[in-house]
Amino acid sequence: EAQVTQNPRYLITVTGKKLTVTCSQNMNHEYMSWYRQDPGLGLRQIYYSMNVEVTDKGDVPEGYKVSRKEKRNFPLILESPSPNQTSLYFCASSRISGNTIYFGEGSWLTVV
Amino acid sequence: GQSLEQPSEVTAVEGAIVQINCTYQTSGFYGLSWYQQHDGGAPTFLSYNALDGLEETGRFSSFLSRSDSYGYLLLQELQMKDSASYFCAVGRDSSYKLIFGSGTRLLVRP
């Protein structure tokens, strides 16, 4: 089954404690991206990657890091989480030549 | 600046037709997409318009007018399961740098 898998799905953490949200896709997609969704603001793009070792900033990259060492994986790293990073996070992927973007199930992150 | 505007809420009756509008302001426009999201779920892709005109996919159609910076999603033969949030998104400089609208919550009544 074609899917984008995120982990963890739910996490409560404390300010300043580094965390990583993993994302993996099994569709051999070149493009992967991270979004955060906050009430009334829709989805905002954090980072995206066009292929292995190629990443670029989206609209809200501050406080986040990403890496793309393998085609299937695109982890989101919060080096020092703060309460304003409490949000619902979505990973997504698609083919470079396609317009259909597939989203993961989302990761609810709470920073206290 | 860059922005997308869509109505926050729309209510319609089962079996009816509803249109959700989206106006955008962005540099380097690169296509208009529509996504559906049920409460607690992930966004799912509905349609994409790169050129002016109407794209039809089953009960859903999407329209784009680049000269008016405007598009809409048309849902026909509404069903209860269509109750969800609908987001328009535009590609900025590429189809991969996406800006999303804040979403339209559609409520379908019996």
**DSSP code of B27?**
S
Is the confidence at residue B93, as pLDDT, over 80? no
Reported as a single tens digit per residue, the pLDDT across B1-20 is 678 999 999 999 999 999 99
Q: Which residue of B has its CA nearest to A43?
A: B100
SS3 B81: helix
- Spell out the SS3 assignment of A16-85: CCCEEEEEEECCCCCEEEEEEEECCCEEEEEEEEEECCEEEECCCCCCCEECCCCCCECCEEECCCCHHH
Q: How are strands ordered across the β-sheet holding B60-65?
A: B3-5, B18-25, B70-75, B60-65, B53-57
Q: Tokens 């409560």 correspond to what residue?
A: A12
Q: Looking at residue B63, what is its pLDDT?
A: 97
Write down the pLDDT at residue B2: 75
For A50, the token pair is 């066009």
Reported as a pLDDT band with limits 50, 70 and 90, residue A89 is very high
Angle (CA) A56-A80-A71 rounded to 5° is: 35
A39-73 pLDDT, tens digit per residue, is 888 899 999 999 999 999 999 999 999 999 999 99
Contact A99 B33 (CB under 8 A): yes
Please write the tens of the pLDDT for every residue from A8-44: 999 999 999 999 999 999 999 999 999 999 988 889 9
Residues of A in contact with B101 (CB under 8 A): 42
CA-nearest residue of chain A to B97? Answer: A58
Q: What is the pLDDT of residues B41-91, one digit of tens each?
A: 999 999 999 999 999 989 999 999 999 999 999 999 999 999 999 999 998
- pLDDT number for residue B1: 65
Contacts of B85 in chain A (CB under 8 A): none
Q: What's the rounded Cα separation, in Å, for the pair B70 and B29?
A: 12
Whole-angstrom Cα distance, residue B4 to residue B41? 22
**For residue A102, what is the enclosing H or E element?**
strand A102-103
Token pair in block for residue B50: 């790169």
The answer to whether A76 touches A21, Cβ cutoff 8 Å, is yes
pLDDT at B73: 98
Suggest the residue from A99, A102, A107 to mutate for an interface test with chain B (most B CBs closer than 10 A): A99
B96 contacts in chain A (CB < 8 Å):
31, 33, 48, 50, 94
Q: Is the model's pLDDT at B103 over the cut of 80?
A: yes
Partner residue opposite B96 with nearest CB, options A31, A40, A41: A31
| Res. A84 pLDDT band, cuts 50 70 90 | very high
Contact A105 B102 (CB under 8 A): no
